[in-house]
Structure 1
Amino acid sequence: MARSDSEGTGATIRDVAVQAGVALSSVSRVLTGHPDVSPAMRAKVEAAVAELGYEPDLLAQSLRSGSTKTIGFVLRDISNPLFANIARATEQALRRSGFSMLITSSDGHLDVEARNLALLRRRRVDGVIVSLVSEEEESTRAALAAINGPVVLLDREVAGLGAAAVLCDHYSGVYRATSELLARGHERIGLVTGALTVRSSRERLRGYEAAFAAAGVPVDRSLLAMGSFEADFAKAEVIRLFSQRDEPTAMITGGIASAAGALQGLRQLRRAIGTDVALVTLDEWPMFDVLAPDLASVSRDSGEMGTAAARLMLDMLNGAEPRTVIIDTHFTPRDSVGPVRRVSPAPRKAARKRALK
């Protein structure tokens, strides 16, 4: 009795060949997506597959071909809407080319990230797309180097890895946003974003500093809060920045979670956005649209990022060399960067005490 290639129906690839009236090799070419198949042949085989309810044994296919037709995707934080949108666009692009995607989330933990990469390697994925928690962690670098297949980095740079990358032009977006705030008279501009161990934070700081230099205004390093993309960090840093005697008149927050935390901190301090303090968010989230005033932002196309990552992966699986794709950022000034109303010292001191309780 022939071995079944399908646990669900018991139909084998041989049954499909008999049903379609074609050779076994012809069925195999159709099922593996071989280009040397006529439309008539493909139609016959696909009709037989549908009629018999045949489901191929993917494990057996991967052992024969050496390909699992699966791409691993390691996210820094799957709860972040930006990453969710990137993953969705990546999965859609891969699916159109016959690939599936296996997603893991590191939740911002370096040890989890290394374990996820090792897991995907053991699952024999054909390649890995990854947004790293840190570019400098040795365990992560070692896990990446051990991947048997192409690697695509999302907005990260790891020297010596030989990976492809989708990079965002954070420098230009933050430069334009900072320049706009400076042109409106703001010189005490807080910057809250992630640690300098990732490219996005370094490029945002570079754009911020370049805008100050172009305006001939010195940077006050006490206004920089760079350590995490988490909301709790942003909230605590906003409260710290506004505890200074000469508090910020504007804020730039790096990432959706950072913006959410900053908003919580400003609300706790009873600072009105657009009047007491100007605010620019880095990345947009539809939920921000319900806020008043409208928030100025530096945005990037998350769908374009995901599609580009999938395209780079597929190209390398077909023999192409690793390359880098740059995604533009766009600064959109809105009502949250209006003129700032100075708060009198007494209410400022009272709000600060309430926030620190």
Structure 2
Amino acid sequence: MRKTEPRIPTIREVAKLARVGLMTVSRVINNHPSVRPSTRKKVEAAIVQLGYRQNEAARLLKGQRAKMIGLIVPDLSDAFFASCAHTVQHIARAHGYMTLVVSSERDADLEFQQAELMASRKVSGLLIVTSTRRGDDRLRELQNTGLAIVAFDRPLPGSDADCVLVENRTGAEEATQHLISHGHKRIACVGYDEETYTIHERVLGYTHHMNAAGLKPNIALGLLTLDGIREWLTEVLASKNKPTAIFSLNHRTSIYLLQALAEQKLRIPQDMAIVGFDDFDLASIITPPLTTVAQSPVELARRSMGLLLERIQKTHDGIESSPAKILLPVKLMVRASCGPHEERPA
């Protein structure tokens, strides 16, 4: 019979037992002089009682931090994340920081390895667009050592890190309503991985608005490539109740759809209307111009960097504060890819 590994106590449990904040435990572990002797004694007793041992990442975090910001994104070849990275580097440089930028390739394990490596380099703070899909104690433990972390584009599951998000669900509802207002009733929703926070929220917005309008949702996910989009389009065009409109869940899917529709010699919007989430450079100049839900990668990165600089300063000054959450608006960019259409039969 396989022996069960003993559970390792966490810094959060130490804080709970000692009845102090996480930052206070971190200060005791790192021998910060601002901790009162009585408080230090309580924390040390809790550490002994629980058998808590500081992990390697925490040990490496001791000492003075470098004037460096870590940035982890899922994919640097994605224009959206590349724009975010450029903005972060620009702001960091203006505040005297260098930036260490890496791509996690949408791999949660690689993401943690990168975060731990950055911690070992004693970065002052970490910005992250996470690929983790559930609570991960490893990242939380890094945060609990006093490393300033801000998540953006999607929250950090299981963590109370500051985060900057956009109104994904609201944007999807507006896109769906725009298609409905042009008389469409058979509206397909197309994209890739629903487990990604942003895609999941957009699917929820689309589904909610379709149901509210008394219409049947038609969702196709897992379409990661142009070939996948081609196969899906060929299949639905042969169906009895083929869609008359498509809501695309991100800009890469929109580009694939535009190409596949052109190959099928389908006219936009006469044969198929389309709205895409995420604006992109060519959306306004292609024929016809594409209606999109726009979010600003520059503003997203700017607000995230602002939060991180604040958190770095608070950590340095020993100030504890509740995590901040910023929700940025999106904007429906109405162009010519949806209509005008007359009411169509169901």
TM interval, short-chain normalised: 0.7 to 0.9
Rounded Cα–Cα distance in structure 2 between residues aligned with 1:237 and 1:68: 50
Is the contact between residue 130 and residue 156 of structure 2 (CA under 8 Å) also seen in structure 1? no
Rounded Cα–Cα distance in structure 2 between residues aligned with 1:120 and 1:73: 9
Give the share of equivalent positions with the same residue, in percent. Answer: 24
- 1:211 paired residue among 184, 209, 212: 209
Taking a change above 3 Å as real, the CA distance of residues 133 and 297 of structure 1, as seen in their structure-2 partners, is same
Matched, 1:186 2:184: yes
Is the contact between residue 182 and residue 342 of structure 2 (CA under 8 Å) also seen in structure 1? no
Matched, 1:95 2:93: yes
- 1:224 paired residue among 209, 219, 224: 219
Is the contact between residue 127 and residue 151 of structure 1 (CA under 8 Å) also seen in structure 2? yes
Q: Which residue of 2 aligns with 1:335?
A: 336
Rounded Cα–Cα distance in structure 2 between residues aligned with 1:150 and 1:280: 38
Rounded Cα–Cα distance in structure 1 between residues aligned with 2:118 and 2:108: 16
Is the contact between residue 234 and residue 259 of structure 1 (CA under 8 Å) also seen in structure 2? no
Taking a change above 3 Å as real, the CA distance of residues 275 and 268 of structure 1, as seen in their structure-2 partners, is same
Q: Which residue of 2 aligns with 1:162?
A: 160
Q: Which residue identity does 1:333 align to in structure 2?
A: V
Is the contact between residue 248 and residue 276 of structure 2 (CA under 8 Å) also seen in structure 1? yes
Taking a change above 3 Å as real, the CA distance of residues 243 and 110 of structure 1, as seen in their structure-2 partners, is farther
1:251 offset after TM fit, Å?
A: 0.8
Aligned-residue RMSD, C-alpha: 2.6
| Structure that is richer in helix per residue | 1
TM-score (norm 1): 0.70
What are the Cα deviations for residues 51-93 of structure 1, in whole angstroms up to 9, with x where unaligned?
Answer: xxxxxxxxxxxx9971111111111111111111111112222
Q: What are the ranges of 5 or more consecutive residues in structure 1 without an aligned counterpart?
A: 1-62, 343-357
Matched, 1:323 2:317: no
Larger Rg: 1
Taking a change above 3 Å as real, the CA distance of residues 76 and 64 of structure 1, as seen in their structure-2 partners, is closer
Q: Which residue of 1 aligns with 2:26?
A: none
Taking a change above 3 Å as real, the CA distance of residues 228 and 321 of structure 1, as seen in their structure-2 partners, is farther
Q: Which residue of 1 aligns with 2:27?
A: none
Rounded Cα–Cα distance in structure 1 between residues aligned with 2:273 and 2:279: 16
Q: Which residue identity does 1:179 align to in structure 2?
A: Q
Is the contact between residue 277 and residue 340 of structure 1 (CA under 8 Å) also seen in structure 2? no
Is the contact between residue 235 and residue 263 of structure 1 (CA under 8 Å) also seen in structure 2? no
Summarize the alignment of residues 257-336 of structure 1 with structure 2, pairs less than 5 Å apart: 257-319=252-314, 321-336=322-337
Q: Which residue of 1 aligns with 2:247?
A: 252
TM-score (norm 2): 0.72
Q: What are the ranges of 5 or more consecutive residues in structure 2 without an aligned counterpart?
A: 1-60, 315-320
Rounded Cα–Cα distance in structure 2 between residues aligned with 1:235 and 1:106: 28
Q: Which residue identity does 1:283 align to in structure 2?
A: D
Runs of 4+ in 1 over 6 A off after TM superposition: none
- How many positions carry a matched residue from both structures? 276
What are the Cα deviations for residues 278-331 of structure 1, in whole angstroms up to 9, with x where unaligned?
Answer: 011111111333310010000011111010110010110111542011110011
